[in-house]
Structure 1
Amino acid sequence: MVGAGATGGAFGSLLHEDGRDVTYLVRTHRAERLRREGLRFVSPSGDRTHQVQVLTTGEAAEAFDLVIVTVKASALPTAIEDVRPYVGRDTVILPVLNGMAHMDRLEEAFPGQTVGGLAKIVATLDEGTVRQMTELTTLTVGPWTAAALPTAVTDALRVPGIDLTVSDDVAGAMWEKWVFIAAGGVVTCLFRGPVGATIEAGGLPRILEAISELEAVADAAGHPVSASGHAQSVTLLTQPGSAFTTSLYRDLIAGNPTEAEHILGDLARRARLLGVPTPLLDLTLIQVRSDAIQRWNAEAALPTG
């Protein structure tokens, strides 16, 4: 398990609890804490702490059968190099990042060994504790290249607490999730607030336009959003009084590194290649990039002594 944050910690705990042999590849400070205190996992089903196996970059270990990548997009290039010594000829790589750009990077690094995947979970890392807020814990996997998905992979992932789906069109499922996350990012980052406040300010027509323009990109790419996927986006992003925001927005407001280029920038790039206009997405990128430039300039101006 590459990363022991909200996603990696939650799924890793559920796999561990059903007897799977799980090892976390993490940074030194995280490894020290996990070795000292264990991994605490709080979910609707209970509060427990597990003693877990951890690795840090450079420590010796044999190749793993399955590597699940759960880091944020900004950490992916480093994670690829960190995990490389533990990837053997038969190792399967399962990333559960948002967007699609990571698939190209992983397939380039480990040709023919990457499978498609996406996770849905509402969880956070709180002072080292993994907290899952709802019972939603789904994992969708499927073959990415012509090779079939190894049965051993699905057998390993089929444990209590994880709602596992094996899809013949995992790329379509990944696109559908990507479009929803991107639409949420446009709505919350462009208008700088939760859905309810944007609607109260008269933004409902713009929200619907954002959903429509991003779904048009998926359609042009050959992965049209399903009727149920569209209904989910409309329901969640047009609810009056809703406090819904996105992690992209929360990171932006907090001044943390964001996945904006991975989620929004890559989608805008593909839209240009496909000839699909995305005015609201483009405005959002200007907003987010301008914010990043200002923060970088402010940091560069600080005294170094």
Structure 2
Amino acid sequence: MRLRIFTEPQQGASYQTLLTVAKAAEDLGCFEAFFRSDHYLKMGDVDGLPGPTDAWITLAGLARDTERIRLGTLMTAATFRHPGPLAISVAQVDQMSGGRVEFGFGAGWYEAEHTAYGIPFPASLGERFQRFEEQLAVITGLWSTPPGETFQYEGRHYRLAEGPALPKPAQSPRPPVLIGGTGAKRTPRLAATYADEYNVPFCVPEETAAAFDRTRAAVRAAGRSAPMVYSAAQVLCVGRDDAEVARRAAAIGREVDELRVNGLAGSPAEVVDKIGRFAEIGAEAVYLQVLDLSDLDHLELVASEVAPQLR
């Protein structure tokens, strides 16, 4: 099982905080990637200070300030950006990192942050998915167009004519594309068509298994031969004893009993057992949602007492 760190900076984190966590994850050696959300507005009863940070500007900085750890988003919102400029940004960050970028991409859902920052938000879920699918076609098409050739696209929402399809990412033919969610039809179809990895966030193993099965069926129906990586995202709350678990749960405003059901919570042995349940249903990677970014000892505990048991 591959371990990846997943952060939620809109809840309150400066670039320096994110860099500190990313460097700690890199230095500990057992975490292969550092991911962040793509949101512009806090959620819940937190102050969110010092305010939001942009996902791809953050990752550009981390591309230069780290050396080995992979970098990505869960998930970049299609509603935030136009596909052509987004393809350029991600390709450039991939070049800056020496080919360490992974592109998690979603349709966008949080209407309040769009209103807060003047970003148009299609009210219809159907339109958001139409735009999302067209953006997937455009972005992957731009990256995969052979050098010296141009890219054309004629969709309902986006049209590109004689696009130079530059710059190219460092990774060939493209950075890995991640699609996630638990939608029953559109999400599995889009994952089978465009994604290298399918991620299920914050579900119990039984729900995750059902979502994996829907995507496996879509992969078969598409006649796809390329492998698909299956992964899960879970909030992390591990402690050496009950008091430490309770302290970490309180720090993120959650209850221990609830986290034991809906996350990776408890002793290292309990967390190893829960990760094993995800491995049994086919998950190859787990994204550990770390909400208290000041608690670097949390990462060290995983590195010393959880990761060695997963090898």
Taking structure 2 as the reference length, the TM-score comes to 0.27
Structure with the larger RCO, 1 or 2 (CA within 8 Å, 6+ apart): 2
